[in-house]
């Protein structure tokens, strides 16, 4: 009996999917567990396995096309099996053929006879031509050509306004165009690309977050000299190249464990405060942004966090993350410091109640013990949903985080 393959719901927010690639064609045999297709969701592109043995009898959606969740994308059954009734009842979206537009015959345009010039008009043209003629001596004309002077702009001082040598010698032009480089020809141009499923989902989710959650922002600046020394010592002693982002991720996780009101989720009837920390780490990909989640980040050490974030970053760019790896975050961090951005504000990644924006480490003069010295600082911006996180709550969280960052040895205790 034929088995209908529907567009799967591969994430909790998925409403439609794009068929990125078929690995089988109609008539091919399919075994259970074989990769049937690649499907692009609102968060990633994932391989879709077949759960049935048989022959691929029908493909209901072409590569690059989009269909809603649960619509029929394929049928698998026995070779030669009649599936016409299944296909007839399919709700797969097909592109409607465009109506043929017939061109209306153009009305015949009769050419009007051209008027003939009369003799008096012709003589007027001849006389105007004579009036437009410029009187100039051969020597003056030669000098004007050599100097690039437009003789139409020269006033003659000879008989009947004739231009002579002294007129060219004394001519001073007010036109500086000869000294200006001609501008290149500029034309309007543009190009366009269709929004991917991920890009459309990002736009929808961020709009929903920005306009439903009342955002406010808290800023703090941290001294980074101790963290720079700590990182260098850790790398030298442990022979593991951790990043500043790894250390900050660990510091954030420990701070959230101490301030669960920030590690929370808003519901209309209640607020849920999480004891565990599932830390979302924003990763830039070609189509936009994806947020893999480091589960139980507060209980993991620096090498474990480093390894997990590196692995997520590589697989995110290759679209190989699974739905389980990009869901369930309780808090999110976004780092643009590697791009030289000193500070910025982020939109909360709902259903989280807050997100931390991490800026670049900047070397600059700072005041220490009443003296001005050269040091390194970093700016952090916490965006909070005011429904769940009050200003004082967010401020206490940042105070704890600043202490961890400026005294990173305490992270290991």
Residues with active-site annotation: 386
Burial of 346 (C-beta count, 10 Å sphere; 0-12/13-18/19+): buried
Cα angle value 305/306/312 (rounded, 5°): 85
**DSSP at 319:** T
**Alpha-carbon separation of residue 339 from 189, 336, 358, 359, 405 (angstroms):** 29, 6, 11, 9, 21
Q: How far apart are the first and last CA of the chain?
A: 62
Pairing relation of β-strands 66-68 and 35-40? Answer: unpaired
Q: Which residues pair with 40 in a beta bridge?
A: 18, 45
For 176-186, b/e burial (b = at least 16 CB within 10 A) is eeeeeeeeeee
Q: Give the 3-state secondary structure of residue 83.
A: coil
C-alpha count within 13 angstroms, C-beta hemisphere, residue 130: 5
Task: Tell me the C-alpha distance between 74 and 17, whole Å.
Answer: 14
Distances (CA, A) of 219 to 127, 280, 342, 384, 394: 83, 20, 12, 11, 10
Residues 6 or more apart whose Cβ sits within 8 Å of residue 222: 377, 378, 379, 380, 402, 405, 406
**In the chain, what is the greatest distance between 2 CA atoms, to the nearest angstrom?**
109
**Residue 84: enclosing H or E segment and its boundaries?**
helix 84-88
- Rounded to whole angstroms, the Cα distance separating 319 from 325 reads 12
Structure token digits, residue 106 = 């153009």
């Amino acid at each position: 009996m034929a088995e209908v393959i529907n567009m799967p719901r591969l994430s909790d927010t998925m409403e439609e999917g794009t068929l990125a690639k078929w690995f089988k064609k109609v008539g091919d045999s399919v075994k259970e567990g074989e990769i049937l297709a690649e499907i692009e969701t609102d968060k990633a592109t994932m391989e879709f396995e077949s759960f049935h043995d048989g022959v691929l009898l029908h493909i209901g959606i072409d590569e690059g096309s989009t269909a809603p969740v649960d619509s029929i994308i394929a049928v698998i059954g026995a070779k030669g099996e009649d599936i016409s009734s299944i296909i007839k009842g399919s709700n797969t979206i097909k592109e409607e053929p465009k109506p043929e537009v017939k061109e209306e015959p153009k009305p015949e345009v009769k050419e009007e006879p051209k008027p003939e010039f009369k003799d008096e008009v012709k003589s007027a043209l001849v006389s105007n031509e004579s009036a437009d003629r410029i009187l100039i001596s051969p020597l003056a004309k030669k000098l004007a050509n050599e100097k690039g002077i437009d003789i139409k702009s020269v006033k003659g001082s000879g008989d009947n306004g004739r231009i002579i040598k002294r007129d060219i010698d004394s001519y001073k032009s007010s036109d500086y165009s000869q000294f200006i480089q001609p501008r290149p020809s500029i034309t309007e141009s543009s190009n366009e690309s269709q929004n991917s499923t991920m890009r459309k989902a990002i736009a929808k989710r961020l709009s929903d977050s920005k306009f439903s959650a009342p955002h406010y922002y808290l800023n703090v600046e941290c001294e980074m000299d101790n963290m720079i020394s700590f990182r260098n010592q850790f790398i030298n002693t442990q022979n593991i190249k951790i990043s500043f982002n790894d250390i900050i991720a660990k510091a954030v996780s420990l701070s959230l464990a101490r301030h669960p009101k920030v590690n929370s989720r808003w519901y209309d009837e209640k607020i849920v405060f999480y004891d565990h920390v599932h830390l979302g780490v924003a990763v830039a990909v070609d189509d936009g942004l994806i947020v893999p989640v480091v589960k139980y980040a507060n209980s993991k050490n620096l090498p474990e966090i480093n390894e997990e974030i590196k692995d997520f970053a590589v697989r995110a760019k290759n679209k190989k993350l699974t739905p389980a790896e990009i869901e369930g975050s309780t808090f999110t961090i976004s780092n643009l410091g590697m791009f030289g951005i000193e500070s910025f504000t982020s939109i909360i990644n709902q259903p989280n109640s807050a997100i931390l924006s991490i800026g670049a480490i900047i070397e600059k003069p700072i005041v220490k013990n009443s003296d001005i010295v050269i040091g390194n600082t970093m700016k952090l911006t916490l965006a909070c949903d005011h429904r769940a996180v009050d200003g004082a709550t967010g401020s206490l969280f940042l105070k704890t985080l600043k202490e961890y960052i400026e005294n990173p040895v305490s992270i290991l205790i």
